[in-house]
Amino acid sequence: MIASPAYSRADSLARKGGEMIMKKLLSLAAALLLFVLVTGAIQAADMVSGTISKVEGSGRSLVVKTKDGKEVSMNISGSRTKLEGIGDRSEFKAGQKVSAEVDGGSATKVKVTK
């Protein structure tokens, strides 16, 4: 029995449609993976809470001692670090209690608590 030309054409269209769906699903999976990787990178900042043990360079660099005794160094940018509880980075003093978001050694946000 020989397949009719109409059947062969329909079968061919079904395969092409299946290939298109597979390509779209693969593209969607790749986009989702990229989104997850980028979102993970954005949320990679560490939270650090403790007491300032050392201030260097007029507040450009801090060392914070956490409750478990670990010392964490961080750079403070005048333009990229958001400060709460103080006016500018020159107001940092040893002994102040702080909580900070640190990403790659640079603080993105520092809150001084009293």
Q: Are 107 and 62 contained in the same domain?
A: yes
pTM of the model: 0.61
Which residues, in sequence order, are CB contacts of 90 under 8 Å at separation 6+? Answer: 58, 59
**If you ran DSSP here, which 8-state letter would residue 87 be given?**
S
User: How does pLDDT run along the chain (114 residues), one tens digit per residue?
Assistant: 555 555 566 566 567 777 888 888 889 999 988 887 776 655 557 899 999 999 999 999 999 999 999 999 999 999 999 999 999 999 999 999 999 999 989 999 999 987
**Angstrom distance (rounded) from CA 10 to CA 23:** 20
Mark whether 60 and 8 lie in a shared domain. no
What separation in angstroms does the CA of 27 have from each of 14, 19, 35, 36, 39? 20, 12, 12, 14, 18
Listing DSSP states for 8-27 in one string gives HHHHHHHHHHHHHHHHHHHH
Q: Is 69 in the same domain as 102?
A: yes
Determine the structural domain holding residue 25 and report its residue range.
1-44
Say how many domains are in the chain.
Answer: 2
CATH number of the domain encompassing residue 72:
2.40.50.320
